[in-house]
A and B are shown apart, each in its own frame.
Chain A
Amino acid sequence: MMPKQIGDTLIRTVDLVKEFEISGGNFFGKDKPRVHATSNVSIQINKGETFALVGESGCGKSTLGRLMLRLIEPTNGYVEFEGININELSHESMREIRKKMQIIFQDPYASINPRMNVYNIIAEPLVTHKVCKTKEETKERVKDLMKKVGIRPEFINRYPHQFSGGQRQRIGIARALALQPELIICDEPVSALDVSIQSQILNLLHDLQEELNLTYLFISHDLSVVRYISDRVCVMFLGKVCEIGDTEDIFGNPLHPYTKFLIDAVPKPDPYLRKENKQLLQGDIPSPVNPPAGCRFHTRCPYAKDVCKEKEPEMKAVNNRQVACHIV
């Protein structure tokens, strides 16, 4: 593959914390239990790169994606897009910024309105932001976008149920591209698709990035997909960042024990790589309502020492990588 042009920081998060209150607590509505979705997450994404967030369910990867779009407000910390703190912006200025950041969702059956035709779905962002002057211009733009994502422009008046899952995901991508954004947040964009369709969408995302110089935040639980598509990876566990680094480094030589076990656990499509008695992570993922004290991974970590139970590990820089672990 071609080497990409990676530029300056496009978006970064500074000590982002998000806690959700859940039902419970006492009669007066006080002391409600809180889900610690993300805790002090600081990441930065550079222009033109694909930055992947991986982790298992409940690790906060989707919450982080929504925080970066300011679809939800953080409990603490802020998000900076092109040097501007977007959490301080007014509603009006936020609308302008929103044009530059878009999102693609996991389920192509739920994320597009079944009662709108393809034209209305893709034109909606153009109409909302009053980008085109005439209806004809809008129609031309929609047709261009359809061609770009590989849907025949003749289908402009069709409805979602007339398309397969892969085609619907293409429509979702066309809608995200409509406003010519800088950043696209892809939240598990291929998890609901069959393997043969998955590879078509991954190749499409890759081509669009090259053509339009897009920046992707790619949220996924599938490590094989992440390895294929991303330049840098951030591994999360229970709302905390474990490790951030270049994709090749992370997969070639994982430093954090969790990253190691995660990569090891993926079933490899090659029987010759079968390992009898491979070491598995024991136990379940702890609840994010009462995350373990100290390092959040210590209850499952076979290398845990006393210090891991007491003190939360700080982010350390280890040759071109960031790791949060006491034993590294």
Chain B
Amino acid sequence: MDELLRINNLKTHFFTKKGVVPAVDGVSISVPKSSIIGLVGESGCGKSITAMSIMQLVQKPGRIIGGSIELEGEDLLKYSEDKMRNIRGNKISIIFQEPMTALNPVYTVGKQVAEAITIHHHDVGKKEAKKMVLNIFDAVGIPEPQRRFNSFPHQLSGGLRQRVMIGMAMVCNPKLMIADEPTTALDVTIEAQILSLMKKLQKERDTSILLITHNLGVVAEVCDYVYVMYAGKVMEQANTFELFKNTSHQYTNGLINSIPKITAEKERLYNIKGVVPNLMKLPKGCRFCPRCEKAMPKCFMEEPPLYKINTVVAGEHYARCFLCESSEVMDDA
């Protein structure tokens, strides 16, 4: 498959008064054309900072200190701010968790979406922009687009607001849409609607989606390929079916087993003992070893690389764990 976005060994650190926080610490991700890629992990694992790094919207005291982010072969980190502005919203767009805080409360939603067009395409007139907005509103399933064009964000429900956000993100036909926890603030029946909408748009418009979430259910439902992050590093990456069938990292295993299943028999829930480590005081060796039940002396000494796993289902599968040591190592990790 053709590669759209390639992140190589990305490092985004935060230089605080108390010390350096390595929020993203050498992450490599590949997004093929027209695919849905999942980035999953708990709070503070660096998944959102990875997204913000792609957009180059990392706030101070954070800074990208290494690696490359290549969109169709061109390194975005070498772009000037002016050139980058033409990428944001145009070739790569992003939607956030809470649509109310992402929309401006004093402008109508129609005007805000139209702005996304006119800012990138100066030759598009007001009337034409409005037509494009009405078309995209229709495509994202907003009923009565004509009336909704003049609505303010507070007049819409949470689900409709998220549809407006998706419309705004899709209106310039971007190559990649980053969705940062797009359904976390929504009710389940609305969440299901938004997920099915994203899948539909991805197919129809040939856009790739990088879906950032903490919810393994959402991952299982929509993603083609998944990266599992923990404390700033990718711990395991695999095809979605492969990841659930042939789980190879103890952290992924713990995550999957600690969710209560709506479909299974009741048994006691699995616990990952302990808590996420302080990024400023990362343990020596594997960052997961203090919480790992199968940790060996070696795990406390050195950091494991990404090992290639023998695939059971499909695709390439890697895990950062010494238990998989017999297999070959991914070179750039």
Contact = CB atoms under 8 A, between A and B. Distances in A.
Interface string A225-236: 101110000000
A266 B271 contact: no
B262 A57 contact: no
A272 B241 contact: yes
Interface stretch (B68-76, B89-97, B171-179, B211-219): B211-219
B207 to A, nearest CB: 19
A273 B245 CA distance: 12
B159 A267 contact: no
Interface stretch (B118-126, B145-153, B188-196, B317-325): B188-196
A267 B266 contact: no
Given A166-B275, A199-B270, A271-B241, A284 B262 contact: no
Interface in B16-42: 42
Interface string B264-280: 00111111100110000
Contacts of B254: 196
Given A224-B262, A266-B262, A274 B220 contact: yes
B221 A267 contact: yes
B10 interface: no
A56 interface: yes
Interface string A211-245: 00000000001011101110000000000000000
Contact of B275 (A195, A197, A263, A280): A197
Nearest to B188: A265
A223 B217 CA distance: 12
B208 interface: no
Interface string A271-293: 11110001011101100000000
A227 B241 contact: no
Nearest to B270: A199
Contacts of A264: 192
B262 A195 contact: no
Contacts of A198: 258
A164 interface: yes
A196 B244 contact: no
A203 B258 CA distance: 10
Interface residues of A, number: 43
A278 to B, nearest CB: 8
A285 B157 contact: yes
A148 B158 CA distance: 40
A261 B214 CA distance: 23
A268 interface: yes
A221 B186 CA distance: 10
B281 to A, nearest CB: 15
B272 A196 contact: yes
Interface in A197-211: 197-200, 202-203, 206
B160 interface: yes
Contact of B262 (A194, A203, A223, A285): A223
A270 B258 contact: no
B237 interface: no
A285 B160 CA distance: 11
B256 interface: yes
B263 A268 contact: yes
Residue among A221, A274, A284 with most chain B CB within 10 A:
A284
A319 to B, nearest CB: 22
A22 interface: no
Interface string B226-269: 00000000000000110011000000001110111111001111
Contact of A228 (B159, B241, B244, B269): B269
Contact of A267 (B191, B240, B269, B270): B191
B217 A269 contact: yes
Contacts of B43: 194
A223 B266 CA distance: 13
Contacts of B261: 224, 227-228, 268-270
Interface of A: 1, 56-57, 164, 166, 194-200, 202-203, 206, 221, 223-225, 227-229, 251, 261-274, 278, 280-282, 284-285
30 contacts: A56-B189, A56-B190, A57-B158, A195-B214, A195-B216, A195-B258, A199-B260, A206-B268, A223-B188, A224-B262, A225-B260, A228-B261, A228-B269, A262-B188, A262-B189, A264-B192, A265-B192, A266-B217, A266-B262, A267-B215, A268-B261, A268-B262, A269-B220, A270-B244, A270-B261, A271-B220, A271-B244, A272-B241, A274-B221, A281-B192
